[in-house]
Structure 1
Amino acid sequence: MSVPLRAITVFHAVARSGSITRAAEDLGVTPSAVSQQVQALEVSLGTALIGKAGRNVVLTEAGERYFEMIGAEIDRIMEATQRIQGFRSVTTLTVRATPSLSTKWLLPRLAGFLKAHPDIELRLDGTNEPTAFLKESVDIEIRHGTGGWPGLFAEGLVEESFRPVCAPSFAAPGSLAVEDLPRHLLIHSVKSQVQWAHWFKLAGVVPASRWRRLLFDRTHMAIDAAAGGLGIALESDLMLWGDLRAGRVACPLASPPRITLVTQWVTCPPDYLRQRKVRAFLDWIRRERDAWTAERDGAAERDGAAEQAGATL
């Protein structure tokens, strides 16, 4: 009995992508052709390999076992074939993230990922719109929100700390009291999960009158406005880090109230975690997260020690 290699590779593409449509795009054929090949393989094996849960494609128990047995072998065959043909395999990885996270945190770090994975062609899609994974060619989304999206793998990126910041020329570091802030122009990121009203309540401050506001719907715009001396912004250290270390912004309070929150989540359908390119990105961003957290915590310890030494002089 001949081995249905074509049908096997088509099933492999469906199982890897979790979608008949995505598999068809990867293979350059129609979705109906993909379905026919999978059905032919199921007839050959005498068992169902895929099913549907709503609009999703899911593997049956037999499909899961079969994919586990053939997945690595098919990947090796494809890589070997491409090497013999005389060119290196290039795989496209599409990552969706908000424009602010893309600009302020991801872009300064991407060189390390590209150097470690020269066979992956990265596409960074900067948008706030949540991904419809079954309809869009997006592999990973770093989504702003509270987590807990049904049907999706979701891992919090990092616990962020929020603080007021402004240009040092606007107000020197540690020069203002919490009660002084409502007298200045306050910059708002309207989509932020931490707003000035909540921060004032935590700080125990009741502004005497309504404060003047400057509003932006993008965090990176609010940070740039603060760095430009327009007012005081309330932002996350994750987004602020480059500007803080470069001295473009600083906290005008000596001891600001501390608010911590996870607002960025790495998400994708669970089936996508089988893909080598997705696993590679997850491993990389976890290392970057850990390195950044260590850098942030180390800087906080040094700053605290310097303030304590200054207080004893």
Structure 2
Amino acid sequence: MALPLRAIVAFHATARTGSMLSASQAIGVTPSAVSQQIQILENHVGTRLFSRAGRKVVLTEAGERYFDMIHDEIERIESATEYLRGHHAITVLNVRISPTFATKCIVPRLREFLDANPDIELRLDATNEPPDYSREHIDLEVRHGEGTLSGLYTEKIIDERMLPLCSPDYAAVGSMSVEELEQHRLIHSVKNLVQWPHWFDKVGHQPRRRLDRVLFDRAYMSIEMAAQGAGIALESHVIAAQEIRSGRLVCPLADPPEVWQASLWIACPHSHLRQHKVQSFIRWIKSLFAEE
């Protein structure tokens, strides 16, 4: 059976715009023609792709999966067509990256990469969920972890030193001992590989009292709470670099023990390394931390 290409285009336009009217205007046909093409596609695949919600249409679960699988290809076709009409070629680079690392380390310097690579359209997918490269259109990822990713190319970006950090108004630099830390509110980033109990264990101190804790699932929230003087966070010198440089965060220990986590990695399928866009991003992100 022939692939219903016109129906696929109508589906893509409707899913992207959220209405058949908008889709009809985008592809230059009537709304009834869009509706007819979607029905043809639903008959072809054997399942409903949309359900109605008032005047709008909403993707079903099957429709969402189908849209995720085809939308990058449709946009590549559009880009290739525009290029042949005389426009510049644009290459789309899809990068999955942890939200805090993106917010604190990548976005503030991202203009450097964009200015140096005007032919690349960058899409950052800020989530901690590991991608399924067989189904998702992700070119590479930057993730926290141990770096043991079966079947993938992995390369460590940098080791992170885990430091107790607080506002200088909360405690001055070098004003505390390790033993005194347990008397204060300790702020936890629950997704860090090194947590407060692990840190105390590594430095050889067992707290004698129940810790006063507050827990966050994003490090940027822990950093901000510490900077506001609400307690002491245990954070990476990489993730908190901006606040450390500006003086918003300081280490209250006179001689902080060296506790490290090797947790920032580049990962992608080996075949993706052949792509110029992937190599360009890898070189750039490694250059950010070369001096550190």
When the two structures are superposed, what TM-score results if normalisation uses the length of structure 1?
0.67
Instruction: Report the counterpart of residue 262 of structure 2 in structure 1.
Output: 262
1:205 matched to 2:178: no
1:162 matched to 2:162: yes
Question: Is the contact made by 1:165 and 1:226 (CA closer than 8 Å) also made in structure 2?
Answer: yes
Cα offset, 1:207, TM superposition: 1.4
Cα offset, 1:140, TM superposition: 1.1
Cα offset, 1:141, TM superposition: 0.6
Query: For the residues of structure 2 that align with 1:28 and 1:204, how far apart are their CA atoms?
Result: 59
Instruction: Report the counterpart of residue 115 of structure 1 in structure 2.
Output: 115
Question: For 1:123, what is the secondary structure of its paired residue?
Answer: strand
Cα offset, 1:287, TM superposition: 1.4
Cα offset, 1:205, TM superposition: 1.7
Question: For 1:159, what is the secondary structure of its paired residue?
Answer: strand
Question: Which string of whole-angstrom CA distances, capped at 9 and with x for unpartnered residues, describes residues 142-186 of structure 1?
Answer: 011111111111111101111100011111111111111000000
Instruction: Report the counterpart of residue 284 of structure 1 in structure 2.
Output: 284
Cα offset, 1:85, TM superposition: 4.0
Question: For 1:183, what is the secondary structure of its paired residue?
Answer: coil
Query: For the residues of structure 1 that align with 2:262 and 2:247, how far apart are their CA atoms?
Result: 25
Question: Is the contact made by 1:156 and 1:266 (CA closer than 8 Å) also made in structure 2?
Answer: yes
Query: For the residues of structure 1 that align with 2:157 and 2:180, how far apart are their CA atoms?
Result: 33
Unmatched tracts of structure 2, length 5 or more: 1-68
Question: Is the contact made by 2:72 and 2:137 (CA closer than 8 Å) also made in structure 1?
Answer: no
Letter in 1 for 2:235: E
Instruction: Report the counterpart of residue 220 of structure 2 in structure 1.
Output: 220
Query: For the residues of structure 1 that align with 2:106 and 2:72, how far apart are their CA atoms?
Result: 28
Question: Is the contact made by 1:160 and 1:263 (CA closer than 8 Å) also made in structure 2?
Answer: yes
More strand by share: 2
Instruction: Report the counterpart of residue 75 of structure 1 in structure 2.
Output: none
Question: For 2:143, what is the secondary structure of its paired residue?
Answer: strand
Query: For the residues of structure 2 that align with 1:198 and 1:262, how far apart are their CA atoms?
Result: 15
Instruction: Report the counterpart of residue 307 of structure 1 in structure 2.
Output: none
What are the within-5 Å matches in structure 2 for residues 56-205 of structure 1? 82=83, 85-205=85-205
Letter in 2 for 1:202: K
Cα offset, 1:203, TM superposition: 2.0
Aligned-pair RMSD on alpha carbons?
2.2
Query: For the residues of structure 1 that align with 2:200 and 2:260, how far apart are their CA atoms?
Result: 15
Question: Is the contact made by 1:158 and 1:264 (CA closer than 8 Å) also made in structure 2?
Answer: yes
Cα offset, 1:289, TM superposition: 1.9
Cα offset, 1:202, TM superposition: 2.1
Query: For the residues of structure 1 that align with 2:201 and 2:283, how far apart are their CA atoms?
Result: 39
Question: For 1:109, what is the secondary structure of its paired residue?
Answer: helix
Query: For the residues of structure 2 that align with 1:151 and 1:284, how far apart are their CA atoms?
Result: 24
Question: Is the contact made by 1:22 and 1:137 (CA closer than 8 Å) also made in structure 2?
Answer: no
Query: For the residues of structure 2 that align with 1:23 and 1:134, how far apart are their CA atoms?
Result: 14
Instruction: Report the counterpart of residue 238 of structure 2 in structure 1.
Output: 238
Cα offset, 1:26, TM superposition: 6.5
Query: For the residues of structure 1 that align with 2:180 and 2:159, how far apart are their CA atoms?
Result: 28
Unmatched tracts of structure 1, length 5 or more: 1-19, 30-77, 294-313
Cα offset, 1:200, TM superposition: 1.1
- Select between 211-220 and 196-205 the one with higher mean Cα deviation: 196-205
Instruction: Report the counterpart of residue 64 of structure 1 in structure 2.
Output: none
Rate the CA distance shift 1:23–1:151 in 2: closer, same or farther, 3 A: farther
Cα offset, 1:125, TM superposition: 0.9
Question: For 2:158, what is the secondary structure of its paired residue?
Answer: coil
Instruction: Report the counterpart of residue 56 of structure 2 in structure 1.
Output: none
When the two structures are superposed, what TM-score results if normalisation uses the length of structure 2?
0.72
Rate the CA distance shift 1:113–1:261 in 2: closer, same or farther, 3 A: same
Letter in 2 for 1:193: L
Cα offset, 1:251, TM superposition: 0.3
Query: For the residues of structure 1 that align with 2:73 and 2:253, how far apart are their CA atoms?
Result: 56
Question: Which string of whole-angstrom CA distances, capped at 9 and with x for unpartnered residues, describes residues 196-240 of structure 1?
Answer: 112112222221211100001111111111111110001111101
Query: For the residues of structure 2 that align with 1:142 and 1:131, how far apart are their CA atoms?
Result: 11
Question: For 2:182, what is the secondary structure of its paired residue?
Answer: helix
Query: For the residues of structure 2 that align with 1:107 and 1:27, how far apart are their CA atoms?
Result: 25
Cα offset, 1:258, TM superposition: 0.5
Query: For the residues of structure 2 that align with 1:214 and 1:27, how far apart are their CA atoms?
Result: 46
Cα offset, 1:24, TM superposition: 5.3
Letter in 2 for 1:220: Y
Rate the CA distance shift 1:111–1:24 in 2: closer, same or farther, 3 A: closer
Aligned length: 223
